[in-house]
């Protein structure tokens, strides 16, 4: 188990180093434990270079690639939410189910955003 308690005397750059390490640990855990994130990361690796190539301006490239980043960010947040709900208990509870469904809905909306952004940029 990773210790996420910052040392009491760490400030400034030392704290930044610790926070960066914890962020990388979170990303690695998400890759290791979340199949949906791995699938979305695979699509990002395929589509981001395509977005760079298809975008004619910096703004278009930012929109195409940025919308893909949003999916990854939302999926990480959804995974964190699911982990927290599962930590609280595995028995069925209406609020737990609702929280998980809402996290899933956020991921779905981010994927729809990708479709809208890509359609708007590529069809304009």
Mean of pLDDT values over 65-90: 96
Could you tell me which residues come within 8 angstroms of residue 19 by beta carbon, excluding any fewer than 6 positions away? Answer: 6
Chain segment 15-67, per-residue pLDDT in tens: 999 999 999 999 999 999 999 999 999 999 999 999 999 999 999 999 999 99
Query: What is the model's pTM?
Result: 0.87
Q: Active-site residues: which are they?
A: 75
> If we measure between CA atoms, which residue out of 68, 2, 66, 69 comes closest to residue 29?
2
């Amino acid at each position: 188990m990773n210790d996420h308690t910052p040392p009491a005397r760490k400030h400034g750059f030392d704290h930044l180093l610790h926070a960066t390490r914890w962020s990388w640990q979170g990303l690695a855990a998400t890759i290791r434990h979340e199949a949906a994130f791995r699938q979305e990361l695979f699509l990002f690796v395929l589509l981001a270079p395509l977005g760079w190539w298809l975008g004619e301006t910096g703004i278009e490239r930012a929109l195409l690639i940025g919308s893909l980043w949003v999916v990854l960010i939302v999926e990480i947040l959804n995974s964190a939410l699911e982990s927290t709900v599962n930590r609280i208990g595995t028995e069925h509870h209406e609020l737990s189910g609702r929280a998980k469904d809402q996290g899933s809905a956020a991921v779905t909306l981010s994927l729809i955003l990708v479709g809208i952004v890509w359609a708007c940029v590529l069809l304009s």
